[in-house]
Amino acid sequence: MRTRSAPWWRPRTLGRQLMFGVSALVSIVVLTVGGLAISTLRDYVTAMSDSQVMHSLAAFKHTYGIEHVATAVGNERLTAYTGQAAGNLIAVKIGDRVVQSAMFDDDGPHRAPDDAITALESLDQIGSQPTTVDLGDLGAYRIAGVDGGTGERLISAVSLRSAHEMIATKVKLVAAITLIAAALAAAGTVLLVRQALRPLRRVAATAARAADIPLAGEDHRITSWVQRSDSNPDHEVGIVGETLNRLLANVDSALAARAESDRRMRRFLTDASHELRTPLAAIQGYAELTRQDSACLPATTEYALARIESESRRMAALVDDMLLLSHLDEGRALDIERVDLVAMVADAVNDIAVTAPDHRFVVDLPEEPMWVDGDSAHLHQVVTNLLVNARNHTPPGVTVTTTLKKLPDSLTETAELIVVDDGPGIDSRLLPDLFGRFVRADKSRSRDMNSTGLGLAIVKSIVEAHGGFVGVESRPGHTEFRVRLTMAATRIPLAPLGLA
């Protein structure tokens, strides 16, 4: 079942999720508070500007009423008025025309710019309540007007430039504070999450080490446990650690029980094999002794004795195989000596060729000896079992090619034995367990229904006892077994090597 992958934009780890989540939350809070502060500041600045407009308008009306100035267009007596702050603008408008104006700034009062006058003349009505208008190059102004009493409209305006600059500064400050707060929140979250998840990482590391322990062997036990400080059930990580320890304890007890069961089984097989050898030898001996008088025996009795001898020999061979596997499992010492693989393979091929005239056996051996340190009898059995397997499980006419060579690219001097046949191949379902015990080929490949299913298991056990590796690959028309052993004088355990 395929698992749905998370969107690319969604953080995958818990630490990143917390970092982005907390940073986003802090940013939202800071932006919200900053937005409220800016809105409040804008309202405050607008109210202050409105107050200045009304104060300017009141002063303008008061002075205008006292002097009762009513001049023609172009008279600039308004520049002499007092009570106006820098940035204020006052004007007198009759109808749609501005007849008088004055602009106050740090350089002193002067006539208002033409674009500002044009903007004032374009306004249809200027009410007594302050509004915001754009006066050309002067920018935004809060403006209000009042009747002068003789048909004219007195206008007063206050610049919003300083207010806008203040608000812009506040916006930049809020943005900077937001970025700083988000960065601090992210950094703080990362530190806190790393600190908080450190026990969880130790628990995960323990689980990973336990997962890497090879559990196939009989003596393998769980050696990695969650430390006591990380298995305290008072917090969430401790609950996970304590649960993992219980799981590992159950697995360890199961492994111990299985190892003990395997030891009892091997002890039983060893004892049974030893006990069976004596009666089997007696049965075989008596059968052979009885057949010495075969001239006096009926044909049916002669046939029965022949079958007794055959089955007793097969039973003895099975007992010997089981006893050998039991000894190899127990790790009993091998009879190590210097062995020439070239001569051994040649002898084994010659022996099997005599027993299988309906097969074609081909050898490809180097001219120089290839020496290994090993048990000669056991290594000979490896070669023999592979050749017997090819003979028994392929039809007549199959060519079996045996090759022995030195691997050119290996880090150590490694001898490689290859046994290839062009038979029908091995069922792919059998390949993963082919070197297991009592594994037999299907009837379409095998011609020997009396096979015990221990031959390849013995091959694997002997090769591994010598520090080597055995592998197989098979397809219709090509089945290949490879055995790799470290050559003499450079005996270093080999790493698993894949088939070429």
Whole-number Å distance between alpha carbons of 259 and 448: 34
Task: Return the pLDDT at 75.
Answer: 45
Task: Return the pLDDT at 418.
Answer: 93
**Number of CB atoms found within 10 A of residue 350's CB:** 11
The answer to which of 110-119, 238-247, 340-349, 485-494 has the lowest mean pLDDT is 485-494
* CB distance 162 to 103 below 8 Å: no
pLDDT above 60: residue 447: no
Whole-number Å distance between alpha carbons of 328 and 332: 6
Helix (H, G, I), strand (E, B), or coil: what is residue 269? helix
Is this model's pTM higher than 0.85 or not? no
Give, for 346, the enclosing helix (H) or strand (E): helix 341-355
The answer to which of 25-34, 110-119, 213-222 has the lowest mean pLDDT is 213-222
DSSP string, 410-439: -SS-EEEEEEEE-SS---TTTGGGTTSTT-
pLDDT (average), residues 340-348: 92
* CB distance 438 to 453 below 8 Å: yes
36-57 residue pLDDT tens: 887 887 888 888 888 888 888 8
Whole-number Å distance between alpha carbons of 395 and 149: 129
Residue 88, token pair as written in the block: 């204020």
Task: Return the pLDDT at 26.
Answer: 80
Whole-number Å distance between alpha carbons of 219 and 215: 8
Whole-number Å distance between alpha carbons of 385 and 336: 20
161-209 residue pLDDT tens: 888 888 888 888 888 888 887 788 778 877 887 787 788 888 888 888 8
pLDDT above 60: residue 285: yes
Task: Return the pLDDT at 104.
Answer: 86
Task: Return the pLDDT at 338.
Answer: 92
Q: Tell me 113's DSSP state.
A: P
Q: How many helices (H) and strands (E) does the chain have?
A: 8, 12
Task: Return the pLDDT at 492.
Answer: 45
Task: Return the pLDDT at 72.
Answer: 39
Task: Return the pLDDT at 271.
Answer: 66
Domains in the chain: ranges and CATH: 15-168 (3.30.450), 214-332 (1.10.287), 336-486 (3.30.565.10)
pLDDT above 60: residue 255: yes
For residue 57, give the amino acid letter. L
Whole-number Å distance between alpha carbons of 331 and 328: 5
pLDDT (average), residues 290-311: 76
6-16 residue pLDDT tens: 565 566 676 67
Q: What are phi and psi of 373, to 5 degrees?
A: -95, 115
Distances (CA, A) of 440 to 302, 389, 448: 32, 10, 10
Task: Return the pLDDT at 68.
Answer: 54
Task: Return the pLDDT at 203.
Answer: 83
pLDDT above 70: residue 494: no
Whole-number Å distance between alpha carbons of 379 and 404: 14
For residue 190, which of 16, 351, 324 has the smallest C-alpha distance? 16
Whole-number Å distance between alpha carbons of 42 and 174: 14
What's the longest Cα–Cα distance across the chain? 167
pLDDT (average), residues 74-103: 78
391-446 residue pLDDT tens: 988 889 999 999 999 887 666 788 999 999 998 888 888 888 888 777 766 554 55
Whole-number Å distance between alpha carbons of 317 and 458: 13
DSSP string, 276-342: HHHHHHHHHHHHHHHHTTGGGS-HHHHHHHHHHHHHHHHHHHHHHHHHHHHHHHTTPPP-EEEEEHH
Local confidence band at 3 (pLDDT 50, 70, 90 cut-offs): low
* CB distance 237 to 199 below 8 Å: yes
pLDDT above 80: residue 368: yes
Local confidence band at 371 (pLDDT 50, 70, 90 cut-offs): very high
Whole-number Å distance between alpha carbons of 334 and 200: 47
Measured distance between the N- and C-terminal CA atoms of the chain, rounded to whole angstroms? 33
Local confidence band at 281 (pLDDT 50, 70, 90 cut-offs): confident
Local confidence band at 497 (pLDDT 50, 70, 90 cut-offs): very low
Whole-number Å distance between alpha carbons of 292 and 295: 8
- CA 376, 377, 378, 379 torsion-angle sign: positive
